[in-house]
Chain A
Amino acid sequence: MSGKSFFVDLSTCTACRGCQVACKQWKKLPAEHTRNVGSHQNPQDLSSKTIRLVRFNEARDEDGKFRWLFFPEQCRHCIEPPCKYIANMYTLGSVIQDEKTGAVIMTDKAVIRKGKLEGWEMCPYNVPRQDKDTGLWSKCDMCIDRVEMGMLPACVQSCPTGTMNFGDRADMLKLAKERLAEVKKTNPNAYLADPDDVRVIYLCETKPENYHENVVASADQRRTLMAGVSPSKTSRRGFLTALKNKA
């Protein structure tokens, strides 16, 4: 499998939010009006104006150790992206996949009548968001314009600690596996989140729900997605193949 991938090493993230701001800067996305609601995380959720968000969570891990967890959330650029098949059923050309990089891109055609589709209905990670006014769906596009010019995505460029890595998929997978082996020496609970299915591979130090509800694609979510299209299929790959065939 070729193309590009991210490796996101959550064991080194300091939540400086350089990536959150760099994303908005490159994408020229406006700030949302926020208020402090008793958490350092802001905005509170992804939106059409915030396609990358550093989530902050306080939790106890499997060993009862207190942790302050940071989860820079973004589109995972699935190898087989459900959003591509589902959104394109509503409006053809809404989502395209870049052949060279594998980037999953929502185009300016991704305008779907409001109320017709929810983010979780097309994405196992519930990442895409719809602009309330225009009906346009959007999410991270891997900074495809930068990548085509040989530059790193803005979030990776801004990262001071080596949390955000980007490169050829094979290199990223290798890096991820090596780093996982290292982290596991002191933390046997560490794991990679859905490394075979996505191009944004997170190294996590504690159970997924401690970070956020959609760190890994949940079985429930997957079932829901499948129910909408092909109830008889049970495997992700089968489901996607079915979708493909349908399309």
Chain B
Amino acid sequence: MTNHWNDLQNSDCILIMGSNAAENHPISFKWAVKAQKRGAKIIHVDPRFTRTSARSDAYIPLRSGTDIAVLGGMINYIIKNKRYFHKYMVEYTNSSFIVGKDFDFKDGLFSGFDSKTNSYDKSKWAFELDDKGIPKQDKTLQDPNCVFQILKKHYSRYTPEKVSSISGVSVKDLELLYNTYTATGKKDKAGTIMYAMGWTQHTVGVQNIRAMAMIQLMLGNIGIAGGGVNALRGECNVQGSTDYALLYHILPGYLKTPLAGQDTLEQYNNTYTPKSNDPESANWWQHYPKYSASLIKAMYSEDTPEQGYQYLPRLDNHKASVYSWIPLIDHMYEGKFSGGLIWGMNPACSSSDSVKTRKAISKLDWMVNVNLFQCETSDFWKGPDMDPEKVKTETFFIPCASAIEKEGSVSNSGRWMQWRYKGPEVFGDVMTDGHYFHEIWEELKHLYEKEGGVYPEPITHLSFENMCEENEHGHMEFSARKTAKLCNGWFTRDVEVKGKKFKKGQQVPSFAYLQADGSTTSGNWLYCNSVSDTENKAMRHDASQTKEQANIGLFPNWTWCWPVNRRILYNRASVDEKGQPWAPKKAVIKWNGSKWVGDVPDGGWKPGTKHPFIMRKNGFGQLFGPGRADGPLPEYYEPLECPVKTHPFSKTLHNPTAVQVEGEEKAVCDPRYPFVGTTYRITEHWQTGSMTRWQDWLVEAEPQMFVEISPELAKLRGIENGEKVTVESVRGSLWAIAMVTERIQPYNINGTDVHMVGMPWHYGWVTPINGGDSANIVTPNVGDPNTGIPEYKAFMVNIRKWKEGDN
């Protein structure tokens, strides 16, 4: 989230699209309802009428996977009807930048496309620079090559009629959506977006969000109270897991994973440290070398940053098609791994194409599953279609402490780092994940020391003691509090920074004090400022606030938020060049003549001296975004499995850069699989259900795998409400209980009824008895080219009455 949960209450229009917030983020509705009671409108755009729709002022159905058509149409509407916030768009976004002559767009493809590798040469999308190396601008927005004109041309193709014909949203509903939402383009109005996996889990996932970010920039909705682009994180700590890089392509703090060929720390830093020649651009990532050196120093305290860098693993590239989840499982399936630690997850149910995933696990020689309870992954060898005698995988199940049996921090969607204390004692000899990791490291170190091996230093030099404390037996053991201190970072020697003297061992007060010379550690530069010498700010529960803060519901002394306790990101865009808020009644920050009041400003410089988007090299919000794998502007493509042969925007049917596995069949306009399938979550269960399916009260409320279909589809297939049915795709089949409901309606796509089949993915064969199995049995191995996230939300299936012999 650029903003935070409480801030939803400040909105004038809440668009919920790509999310079922009321069901999957129940507490968000505390704030959404507050806004609604104040007169705000809630609009829900979704393939299904859900509990969110029930509480919205308007519900607008769309065919799953067609969001970019609808959002592209909104951009067209904004430009045609001049609904943009003109001054904000001109001054704070790159609308005026001149795009270089190499940029082109033809029939669904941007310039620079290489059909052999299905990837783009992004250098073709670069901006034109002046003789100082600063992007050229035309603030009249008239230059035909300026971003605004390119946008205008690109999205003029997204007419309401075309958008309607492919998305199934009526022209009337489009007008309602566009008119209501773009009314927030006024300077004192705020519109916000609540999205989740309904947007990310597509082969155009990143571009769905890009499209909305562009809308928010045009309407001047970023940086303000009640605005922003708000990703609703499904897991209480998924924000934290991203910040700490539980992904292949980044290190903690969104630093890049080093690549082969980046042989020295200097080479690595030079590659990823952006340079701006514009004195008004803060270009915050210019500090990259300080953050990388401090991270390395946190990991390898006895080595110099340059030496420690040598211990970091290298990738060949950052391509999702090579390193993300789908290729990982494919490699496993091909027998390219000998063993696997599958930790805190249940891929036998959560991974796309569960049948393939379960077979892939069986190709391992050994597998360790660390989990709270036995699940379909730990027990895969005795699951459906497995012959335990033939499965070679030696399988271990290690139970671990649950969240309430240990202490530590979680970072919520609003970036608040909140401390949780230990509740009950763990059961038996069970330990926390941190303790297990430490023991594994101790054993590896011991083995390297005893037996030697190739390049042992990355393990033997690791400063794991930085995250440990001595226990009552005199042994070092994992400590969450010590780890939190390390994440903030400390000085490794006596040093003077910015005229202040610091002693070795003192905590670094904020990331502005981090150094590139090895004199500081910081496990994650974004969290520097969270733990001082005297307090762990994640533990703060102080509701005090100033009058300005109270006005927009900011609680700066309640826990802590990255970066440097700033609650609303890009808040310098909420004020004009004199530091005066666009919306005085809901001011986030304000220059009072001598200092900023309100939230922590996005840099303390005087008003009008720096461009507000300080994390961008040039300091501007990116309407034109030349950094993504699939193009600088969102463009409409069908899901990789879809019910149509053509769409009205180009002859390029699918995202040409999408992640896919060569040779795997896909159903496109395949009469065997005529219905759009989608998957989702419900309030009562959690992810694969590996925790909630053991909870009687939750199983009582949602006991069995179900499939929601419209009365029309039920009639077509002769299905009765409550009856057992079979859902099948190219990849597999499963049974479910049919829920026939008016909440689902066929979509009118080019005059034809297209039906949808919707399923939760919470069930699995281990428990409860007769609960059913995972919906991922039918989902495809295709994904977004930037993130690799599978397209769980749109694929093709068939549904029919269940018969004896079916799964």
Tell me the A residues contacting B by CB distance below 8 Å.
12-18, 20-21, 24-25, 30-40, 42-43, 58, 66-70, 160-162, 182
Contact = CB atoms under 8 A, between A and B. Distances in A.
Contact of B684 (A14, A17, A32, A33): A17
Interface in B740-777: 740-743, 770
B657 interface: no
A123 to B, nearest CB: 24
Given A12-B55, A58-B743, 19 more contacts: A12-B33, A14-B55, A17-B683, A17-B701, A31-B697, A35-B704, A36-B706, A38-B722, A39-B739, A40-B739, A42-B701, A58-B741, A66-B743, A68-B53, A68-B54, A68-B743, A160-B29, A161-B33, A182-B37
Nearest to A162: B33
26 contacts: A14-B22, A14-B23, A15-B54, A16-B23, A24-B697, A31-B700, A34-B703, A35-B704, A35-B737, A36-B702, A36-B703, A36-B706, A37-B737, A40-B682, A66-B49, A66-B742, A66-B743, A67-B54, A68-B53, A68-B54, A70-B54, A160-B26, A160-B27, A160-B30, A162-B30, A162-B33
A13 B30 CA distance: 10
A153 B704 CA distance: 30
A58 B52 CA distance: 14
Nearest to B683: A16
B722 A36 contact: yes
A24 B684 CA distance: 14
A35 B29 contact: no
Contacts of A12: 29, 33, 55
A16 B706 contact: no
Contacts of B54: 14-15, 67-70
Contacts of A15: 51, 54, 683
B738 interface: yes
B770 A14 contact: no
B721 interface: yes
Contacts of A18: 26
Contacts of A67: 54
Interface in B687-727: 696-704, 706, 721-723
- Pairs A-B, 10 closest by C-beta atoms: A38-B722, A31-B696, A38-B721, A31-B700, A14-B22, A36-B704, A36-B737, A68-B54, A16-B26, A37-B722
Given A31-B697, A35-B770, A161-B33, A16 B740 contact: no
A115 to B, nearest CB: 27
A43 B33 contact: no
B26 A14 contact: yes
Nearest to A66: B742
- Per DSSP, chain B at the interface is mixed
A9 to B, nearest CB: 9
Q: Which among A34, A36, A66, A162 has the highest number of chain B CB atoms within 10 Å?
A: A36
Contacts of A35: 703-704, 737, 770
Contacts of B704: 35-36
Interface in B28-78: 29-30, 33, 37, 49, 51-55
Nearest to B24: A16
A174 B26 CA distance: 27
Contact of B51 (A34, A66, A68): A68
A18 B25 CA distance: 12
Nearest to A50: B700
A239 B255 CA distance: 76
Nearest to B741: A58
A13 B51 CA distance: 9
A30 B699 CA distance: 12
A21 B37 CA distance: 27
A36 B739 contact: yes
Interface of B: 22-23, 26-27, 29-30, 33, 37, 49, 51-55, 682-684, 696-704, 706, 721-723, 737-743, 770
Contacts of B739: 36, 38-40
A162 B36 CA distance: 13
Nearest to A41: B701
Contacts of A182: 37
A7 to B, nearest CB: 14
The A interface is mostly helix, strand or loop, or mixed, namely loop
Nearest to A25: B697
B697 A21 contact: yes
A40 B683 CA distance: 11
B55 A40 contact: no
B178 to A, nearest CB: 22
Given A18-B26, A161-B29, A42 B743 contact: no
Nearest to B720: A38
A43 B700 contact: yes
Contacts of A33: 700
Contact of A20 (B52, B53, B701): B701
Contacts of B29: 12, 14, 160-161
B130 to A, nearest CB: 53
A31 B30 contact: no
A47 to B, nearest CB: 11
Q: Which of A24, A67, A160 has the most chain B CB atoms closer than 10 A to its own CB? A: A160
B65 to A, nearest CB: 24
Contacts of B701: 17, 20-21, 34, 42
A16 B29 CA distance: 10
A21 B699 CA distance: 11
A31 B698 CA distance: 8
A18 B701 CA distance: 11
Nearest to A23: B697
B49 A68 contact: yes
Nearest to B682: A40
B742 A58 contact: yes
Nearest to A24: B697
A38 B738 contact: yes
B219 to A, nearest CB: 25
B456 to A, nearest CB: 51
Nearest to A21: B697
A183 to B, nearest CB: 10
Contacts of B723: 38
Contacts of A58: 741-743
A67 B55 CA distance: 9
Contacts of A34: 699-701, 703
A21 B685 CA distance: 13
Contacts of A160: 26-27, 29-30
A42 B22 contact: no
A65 to B, nearest CB: 10
A21 B696 CA distance: 10
Contacts of A21: 697-698, 701
A38 B697 contact: no
A66 B701 CA distance: 24
A160 B22 CA distance: 10
B579 to A, nearest CB: 36
A30 B701 CA distance: 12
Contacts of B721: 38
Contacts of B703: 34-36, 42
B696 A30 contact: yes
Contacts of A162: 30, 33
Contacts of B55: 12-14
A20 B698 CA distance: 10
A14 B51 contact: yes
B22 A16 contact: yes
A212 to B, nearest CB: 16
A73 to B, nearest CB: 14
Contacts of A39: 722, 739
B43 to A, nearest CB: 15
Nearest to B21: A14
A30 B682 CA distance: 22
A243 B205 CA distance: 66
Contacts of A70: 51, 54
For A14, A70, A162, which residue has the most chain B Cβ atoms within 10 angstroms?
Answer: A14
A39 B706 CA distance: 10
Nearest to B52: A14
B743 to A, nearest CB: 6
B28 to A, nearest CB: 8
